[in-house]
Structure 1
Amino acid sequence: MHDEDLLEFADEVEVAPARLAEAEPWPILIVDDDEEIHRATVFALRGVTLFDRPLEFDSAMTAEEARQKLRNKRYSCVLLDVVMEADDAGLRLVGFIRETLCDEAVRIVLRTGQPGYAPELEVVQKYDINDYKSKSELTSTRLITALASALRSYQQICTIEASRRGLEEIVGAASNLMAVQAVERFSAGVLIQICSLLHVPEDGVLCAQSGGLPEEPATVVAASGRFADFRGRAVAELGVSVLHDDIEKVLREQRNMFEPDRTVLYICSPRGERLAVHITTRRPLSELDRKLLEVFSINIAVGFDNAHLFEALEDLAYWDRLTRLPNRAAFEREIERRVSEHDSFHVVVADIDNFQAVNDGLGHEVGDHTLRAAGRILREVFGTDCFLARTSADTFAMVYLGGGSELESDLRNLSKRLEHNVSVEGNDIPLTLSVGVAMYPDHGDRASAVFRNAGIALKQAKQVSRSSFQFFDNRFERELQTRLQTIRELRYSVERKCLRLYYQPQVRLASGEVFGVEALVRWQRTPGELVSPLLFIPAAEDSGHIVTIGEWILRQSCIQQQVWAKRYGRDLRMAVNVSMRQLKDPDFLGMVREVVAQTSINPQHLELEVTESLMMEDTLGLSAILQQVRDMGIGVAIDDFGTGYSSLSHLQRLPIDRLKIDRAFITGLNQNAEDQVIAALVINMGHLLHLQVIAEGVETAEQRDRLLAMGCDDGQGYFFGKPMPADELARQLFG
């Protein structure tokens, strides 16, 4: 091949001049064992600009040299000789690109100087080879044409990939919104996707939100590059009059603006939130780009509403509304983070001694103030460096980063601080705290293990002396023997059929109709002694007995439902709790199908309840299992919702039908305005996700009426009926 053969393009193809000096060149790798081919190819393509970008060439004389270059640099196209040091050297290099480097984007044009040799069609298809040419037929025109086709294909693939990456950012932001920063993160994701779609740098891109009133200025909610520090400030403060005028015009006229060097998108959410996204494009947008952005802006609008909603819900998920401290979910997230960073730290768990006596003797309002006082005292003693959270009713937990001797000193200071009564709402209360401590990694290599061992140390402290502290010691394992004894007794009781089922009515709030019951298990350890599930279910979980117990509960509940249906003509829906241990059992779904078939229950009259805490574990796996449960026609409910053990954003990904509001949200419904707001928020959120909502712990007519006014569908609690044996419930319902 000669240089003049490669110069025929001048009369055949019009090539754009290299007019954009700042445009990033297309990186092209020439792989050939013939030096003349390298020289002729570069000579033929000198000064050529394709799609407003010049060409940049690297050369490799062997397949091994090409491998080294491909490892260190990403190319748009590879012009590859098939036969080099070996007959299949080129094809093996193609396999390296696609399979070893997993580079699906780079375009490959095969060239051969042996017209009689051609790779098999199977190889061309398998490795996504863009073109195959004989060197003798590659005139300048054909070389330009082949390269233009390859680069156009590469650009399209990169566009799709960039768009996909931007979309992942949006989905990630929507699924993992953090409290306070939710809207900002979502807006930032929008900017990333737009820049990816348009192939423009993220520098100087911003999203502004209109003020609530006409006279209020637009403010920056997300920005990048030189505008990144202006988040939360008025657009006018940017000092760029053109940008300010563009945004004000778009928000005022409520339509997109497309200028040769910039674009401003108008986004209006369903609830009236108005935003403008300003992008410096430095080039006119194609009609396709404009249409894409218009469709994008319309579809993304609802995301801002969701961001605001989840911002409120995430605050509920990770903050204790009484003390305004982080809650258990936030605490567990913090220790998981510390473990992932391999930090050494102490977990300190503090429990208020005799707190129930304060509640019973002085009332819940004083009890609430006592909890706030305890939080303040812990903060005063341990300082702001520790991560302090309220993890349950009267229990606080801390991540303490200081050393052991420093911690002991602080714990003694805490004891001194509590030597005198604490004044709470005019009451002198003898406030004391028992404390358990465990250290990572000495007392556990997982966050949950350290947290658990701190709890074991706390129990030991309470057993030794109230208002004391205990560091975890491996000797505490002996204390677990009592728990093992409970497990042994439980196993015996399961074999001897000493478990009993009680049923609590579930009622339509609007009509008062009893439409279903929840099956609740009790353990009759000795005649006349019923053990609460709070005491034996954890032991059953740990031992694995919960799988056997769970199957027995499900089977007996379904049988009982059929007895009532046949005897009284009433198809009550039966709600049955299932645990994570059951859901993870490989035979769980088969067991459910078998029970449904053997008992002849209509699946539509059966509902499985999963506690909210399970949402923190293996969400995707849990979702797949629950989806198969629903595919059987069985309903799925989230139990104890709102207790703060999981991110509420997980809810939208679970295949569920019903939301059970935890009783903690119902107790103060008629006395506490905040309780009313939160209950209403959860009810509205449930309905937004097309879920039925049932409230647990309804104990008064006033609570029922308030829930009904809020739009709650159903209720359950002592106001409607206590848990009772099947015969007693039948007498109450059917006479």
Structure 2
Amino acid sequence: MQPDPNATALVEALSGSGAAGGLALETLRQILDAVPVRVAVLDRDRRHIYGNRPYLEMVDRSLDQLVGRTLGDLMGDKAMRNMAGHVKRALAGHIAESEGWVQQPNGEQRCIHRVYAPYRGADGAVVGYFVILQDVTDRRQSQDDLFRLAYYDPVTGLANRLMLLKHMADYCAEKEPFTLVIVDIDRFADIRTSLGQAFANELLGDLASRLGEQGGAFDLIARVSDHAFALLVAGPCDRPAVERALEELAAVVRSARSSSGAAVFMSASIGVATAEPSHERPEDVLRDAEIATGRSRELGGGRQSWFDPAMHAHVVEQIRLEHDLRGALSRGEGLWVAYQPIVEMVTGGLAGFEALVRWTHPERGNIPPGVFIPIAESTGLVVALGSWVLREACRQIADWQDKRAPGSAPLFMSVNLSARQLSDPGFVEVVREVLRETKVEPAWLKLELTESAVMDKAEQSIRLLQDLRTLGIKLSIDDFGTGYSSLSYLHKLPIDSLKVDRSFVSAMHHSEENRAIVRIIMDLARLLGFDVIAEGIETSADANLLRALACDYGQGYHFARPLPPADAEKLLGGELPWQAPW
């Protein structure tokens, strides 16, 4: 076949060997040799008629050695066949592109972007084609890095939440049923705080590896939060098979170790949800699985829960109540403080009150403390709520001191302190400001803390209690005997009182052993220099027995229920309905 005259003229011009050269073509040739892109021109028979310097370096040929040879001559028939489709499109007058990894002569893998474009003669007919090759390895690696950052967890190497949602979206688009399992490590924040982030990351890495070994049962394993993993199972839900897998997962969590072999006891709250027609988005399935996980956590952790719609309704109700509680707190509407009298057991006189927060909802009426206090605790609202109660109670006791019976001892006000407040570094300053604002004598205020709140972080709690004690206020351990106090810490606590839990008081009449428990608590309190308050006194028999045991103070329905401020104020004059000749 005779060479195309246009192609011959082009190669002569670009090579600088023909009369068709000139300044413009010389400039073009230098540009083509300088750019970091490989350019070649081939005729309709796929024979090279030109290649720029980078292209010649790639094929390790001079221009004279290149011209007239096909790609097959240079790189073999396989390379020729791989590009046949793109060449055909270019010769048909279209532009074709492709991108892929190519092994270089030195064995290195490089990502090459290829463009095939038609080369037209003066009459517009396609007389050959251009091949433009660009090394995009760096760009591709950057894209891959960005993809990994976007869709994979850097600590465990597992897929992340976005990748999980992408997979679930694909299943939903194909109407493929699936089941989602969430494995949430219990107390992970405590492990990380106590042993450090590096140790926690080692545990996560080991756990991810162990979960991967269970991969046969799951189609995707992802890390979806700081301490939670998600496992995706495609196909109709086989509940017995999933539950067997859940037992294996619980064992896997318990077996996790750091890279040094160190171990801590770990358990997991596990939640399961299946994709249903009612789920409009993949996020809805994930939401339900996380709700079920939350239910497992509420039940104490280390267990499994399957989602049911009632759980969602409960969560929605909790969110609504949280919203309303925030509004009530910010506006100061609906919240009020009830006051339960605390009685001096020997004389029956009024010693003080315990402040107990109440909430009258504008639409739902009275919301029990057992409903809204846990919401406040879980959301952190309890810090603001507790400060509000403290301020209200202090204002009230300051007002009542001037109204008490002549000659009677000053009343004290007990206010409950939550674990969240105890861990708030600014709490001591809050108490100091409230005392200054309400002009309350510090000795009139007694803060009550639960055993578990104090002992959870004992050393930190002791420091905070010492700071509070420096202000001159009194401190009490509430619900004593129901937590896990250590005697080695109890004598270090700068407290004034122990409050005997109502469960011990109500059980005193059932056996001598129960009475002995109360007696031991009182003996321990006296040994350590504390006074004792018994709560939950329901009957005169309870009161008489506690009086015989030399209990200092008591409160309960036998004396009075928690009272609105106006009713509680009526007791200040000295006429106490529970008093009678002993």
- TM-score in terms of structure 2 length: 0.47
Task: Name which structure has the greater RCO, CA cutoff 8 Å, separation 6+.
Answer: 2
- TM-score in terms of structure 1 length: 0.38
> Which of these two proteins has the greater Rg computed from alpha carbons?
2
